[in-house]
Structure 1
């Protein structure tokens, strides 16, 4: 059975062997068909993916030829009916287990369900498996503005799922384990307030109160210097609670106040932070 990967460079696997697909135009066309697998893909959208807003007069003919070439490739490896003609375009027909993006989404939905039922350990494990499917930037080897725009949205989903997995791990008191990972993540995504809040939670929960306070100081300086604004109220509240040693880094409450870059919604609750001043306070280091 053929398997396809879009959560990284385009990948085609047949009988555990990778199938080479080097012509750029074929990669662009197949990538877009896979991103909308089992859905009609109009020829006009394929033309846009390959040539943008300046297609040649022969664009539609060249797309037909490209599809024909792809069909021959798949015919050789035993999948002659993978690409269907469906007016006014084409459709790739595959099962959910044939595309890594579908498997990623399936695991994310399962994680949402078990997390909502009070099983954070299972949710964390499922999201860990989903995130492990990523091999780098989605379709990084495809030279198409349209495909790369979709890739950017997939990257946003990836970091949202990462934030959700971290939230569950914090709920499970895995603070020390998370601190180093969150240092790297916040270096890569410095303006995501939720990740910064999670880093402060991990540091404080592992007994590193001074480091958590220094993290806020650095965040505030960066926000003021680069954006001309103060950190959001949620981060400010966390900072004040840590100053008073009244903050408990649990992720069991919803948090709607943390700002993050706008991206597609993923269906998960926005798991946030609460403080309980009556609980024991972790020591400083």
Structure 2
């Protein structure tokens, strides 16, 4: 049994028997909150003092001595082994699972993954458990918490968990039960397009199509008046669907049963945020990928290459009868394992015995055979750190798989014959501002860019 540290609200410490340990004054609580936010990793002395002392009151003349005195008091309170001095600073001797902040993050990540995998019941349980850990504001005892990036991140995660929990309820057919909470959240962040889209879906699912259309119009007006832009693709698609359902069907002389929709193939995950400001690039990529078998989207880190590539791939799903597949290469550290990683992403791994019998244990051979008879689009994402291996892989696949098209993202071209390179420029200022406003509102309810021109 170990101590448990609670910082999602006022700082508390629970002993192994469940009893609470008194902590004393505000500085001791701030010190423990700052250490707990490190998740068991060393926190530099300078970072600790910056979080413990309010910026307006100034730091102590001898920061080292003042911090040592506080650490000594904390050790006397919760035990001499609870705080360890290391070359990197002081650390709380605790596992992340013993700190409610990190337990919440784990549950939120698992819940979000379950929601993306269309397991809403599992997602609801995990997100409920995570949200139940909150007893008040995150890291409430830090004096400068309003501007602390740790606090902002935690509150953003909480907002994402609340949105995911509501989305799970809507997916489970219980939209009516979350409309009140959802309406309140949407009112706090009127420019958060994914949240507004969720509200519109919930209204429609609750049998309130007129209110859903009104909610769309309110969102559209807010975006036009405050950001000078129209709603994004997701909201426009929702609006078109609502209008289509509102129109009475034309009488048919010989009505025929509607064909069952063909299931989409591939491994693209649903995106949880709206796509903003790349309509021109999206249209260009969708056009050139119909005539070029290898297109590489290049640009600096953080430019939005991955999101643009995935949005383009989704738009072209109907041109790829055997699916649209994305292989994330960032986790690949050894270039020799690249073919196996791509094969796994495509779901093409075979039982080991059959693989050896048919063509030896060569992942590249198996990958080529997997793709050779298919008409598909493959996204090779984040090629830059294995660019030579990615180039060789793409060239081999394109030579032996005539129905394959490759869309790559990288910080540099692959330099493969037939490659078409498309640089990605920064977003124009108005669009970047709109994106910042939406993401900021998701991270901090009530955030508005026009509050600080």
Deviations 1:147-193 (A, max 9, x none): 73311111001111222222222222222222222112212333221
In our comparison, the structure showing a higher alpha carbon Rg is 2
Render the CA deviation track for 1:64-90: whole Å, top value 9, x for unaligned: 100000000113xxxx31101112421
* Residues 1:188 and 2:188 aligned together: yes
Aligned-partner Cα distance in 2 for 1:90–1:220: 50
TM-superposed CA distance for 1:5, in Å, is 1.1
- Distance in 1, matches of 2:66 and 2:146, equals 18
Question: Aligned partners of 1:114 and 1:65: how far apart in 2?
Answer: 46
For the residue of structure 2 that corresponds to 1:156, the secondary structure is helix
TM-score by length of 1: 0.79
Instruction: List aligned pairs for 1:2-81, cutoff 5 A.
Output: 2-14=3-15, 15-51=17-53, 52=55, 55-75=59-79, 80-81=80-81
Q: Equivalent of 2:274, from 240, 257, 265? A: 257
| Separation in structure 2 between the aligned mates of residue 22 and residue 224 of structure 1, nearest angstrom | 51
C-alpha distance in structure 2 between counterparts of 1:170 and 1:163, whole Å: 11
Counterpart of 2:211 in structure 1 is: 211
1:6-30 per-residue CA deviation (whole Å, 9 max, x = no partner) reads 1122222234333333422222221
- TM-fit CA distance, 1:262: 5.2
- Aligned CA distance change for structure 1 residues 112 and 228 (closer, same or farther; 3 Å): closer
* Structure 1 pair 263–74 and aligned structure 2 pair: CA distance change class (3 A): farther
What SS does the aligned partner of 2:9 have?
A: coil
**Structure 2 counterpart of 1:141:** 141
Deviation at 1:222, TM superposition (A): 2.3
User: Is this contact kept in 1: 2:84–2:91, CA < 8 A?
Assistant: yes
Q: Is the 8 A contact 1:31 1:147 kept in 2?
A: no
Q: In structure 1, how many angstroms separate the alpha carbons of the residues matched to 2:245 and 2:90? A: 60
The answer to whether the 8 A contact 2:5-2:14 is kept is yes
Alignment size in residue pairs? 257
Q: Distance in 1 between matches of 2:172 and 2:132?
A: 20
Specify the alignment match of 2:86 in structure 1: 86
Q: TM-score, normalised by structure 2?
A: 0.52
| Cα deviation 1:21-58 (Å, max 9, x = unaligned) | 34222222211110012101111111222344953430
Alpha-carbon distance change, 73 to 151 in structure 1, aligned in 2, over 3 angstroms: same
Distance 1:209 1:108, change over 3 A: same
Q: Matches of 1:115 and 1:235 in 2, distance apart?
A: 20
Distance 1:124 1:98, change over 3 A: same
The answer (yes or no) to whether the contact 1:7–1:135 under 8 Å persists in 2 is yes
Partner of 1:249: none
1:119 partnered with 2:144: no
**Root-mean-square deviation (Å):** 2.8
**Within 5 A, what are the aligned runs for 1:91-110?**
91-110=91-110
Asked whether the 8 Å contact 2:108–2:127 carries over to 1, the reply is yes
Q: Measure the CA separation in 1 of the matches of 2:216 and 2:148.
A: 33
- 8 Å CA contact 1:186, 1:196 repeated in 2: yes
- The change in CA–CA distance for 1:146 and 1:242 in structure 2 (over 3 A counts) is closer
Gap runs ≥5 in structure 1: 247-251, 266-285
